[in-house]
Amino acid sequence: MTDDLRSHIDEAMTLAAAQLGKGRVADYIPALAKVDPAKLGFALALPDGTVHASGDADEPFSIQSVSKVFTLALALRRVGSDLWTSVGREPSGSAFNSVVQLESEQGIPRNPLINAGAIATTDRLIDGRAGDAVAEEIVDFMRARAGDDRVEIDFDVAFSESETGARNRSLAHFMDAFGNLTHPVETVVGVYFRQCAIAMSCRQLARAGLFLAMEGRDPFTGEQIVEAHRARRINAIMMLCGHYDNSGEFAFRVGLPGKSGVGGGILCIAPGQGSIAVWSPALNEAGTSLAGAVALEHFAYAAGWSVFD
């Protein structure tokens, strides 16, 4: 890494640290409400194998909706373009867990990165298998991408999500009523809650996202994880739909595809350059990490990394 990139990370972290104290930790999942809002981590994974970390970059956190990017990749591998019969590719312009559009759009969620769309994607990924086997496949995939066998599901978080999961169950039942679910609701949400409850550090997550920056190929293992055209399209969906109802704002400020989770993590892809993961648990009103987005905005600006070059 050049000294420049290191100093951009340092500057980004200083500016992000000034935001600590603002925003709110997600509390609708009780296990997430306990997290210290003052945490701040940043990791940049480069294709040459180096990972440059700063702050709380080695502390595992709940990746939540960031998992949706990886299950999308797995579902596309498993069922191919047929996935798009179950879920769309349009920004939703509404909250991540909204029921409203499902009613008017006959049970086909707008995109795979809102809750309903991720539940539909997980349903397709299950593809007739047992839920436990699929949850295991997802964790194994994250371990392989992170190059770290220590990646685990946090079962306290998974349990807490299930206990408070009435709205996600409602989304699943709604889709079922429209014939857009092929497995029992409990099987599907059981996998969904576990994928959201995977705990990873910024270092692991940045490393895991690198295949999306490298045309679908994991530069560490040499494996083609998804075809290049699929990696581009996953990035396109992240760009348009990755941050709930502030996806446009994120694209404007950061200019790179990304995905937020309500655990305070954001994965951000700089095609051809690298993969960045940030974590800070206090969220803005739409559910994106407040300090995390500031760190990404300043890093991308200083490094001159943008898909609009």
* Residue 259 is among the residues annotated as catalytic for this protein: no
What is residue 25's three-state secondary structure? strand
| In contact, 121 and 83? CB cutoff 8 Å | yes
Q: Should residue 109 be labelled a site residue for ligand GLU when binding is judged by CB under 6 A?
A: no
Q: Should residue 292 be labelled a site residue for ligand GLU when binding is judged by CB under 6 A?
A: no
Residues 248-267 that bind ligand GLU (CB under 6 A): 261-262
Q: Should residue 64 be labelled a site residue for ligand GLU when binding is judged by CB under 6 A?
A: yes
Spell out the residues 6+ positions from residue 5 whose beta carbon is closer than 8 angstroms to its own. Answer: 44, 52, 303
Q: From residue 176 to residue 205, what is the string marking binding to ligand GLU with x (rule CB under 6 A)?
A: --------------------x---------
Size of the site for ligand GLU (CB under 6 A): 11
**Eight-class DSSP state of 215:** T
Q: Should residue 287 be labelled a site residue for ligand GLU when binding is judged by CB under 6 A?
A: yes
Secondary structure element (H or E) that encloses residue 104, with its range: helix 100-104
- Number of CB atoms found within 10 A of residue 129's CB: 14
* Type of residue numbered 232: R
Pick the catalytic residue from 25, 51, 68, 185: 68
The CB-of-198 to ligand GLU minimum distance in angstroms stands at 11
Of 65, 101, 111, 201, the residue at the interface with ligand GLU (CB under 6 A) is 65
d(CA 105, CA 107): 6
Q: Should residue 164 be labelled a site residue for ligand GLU when binding is judged by CB under 6 A?
A: no
| In contact, 283 and 25? CB cutoff 8 Å | yes
Pick the catalytic residue from 65, 160, 247, 289: 65
Pairing label, strands 198-200, 61-62: antiparallel
Which positions lie near ligand GLU, rule CB under 6 A? 64-65, 96-97, 115, 161, 168, 196, 261-262, 287
> Which are the catalytic amino acids?
65, 68, 192, 244, 262
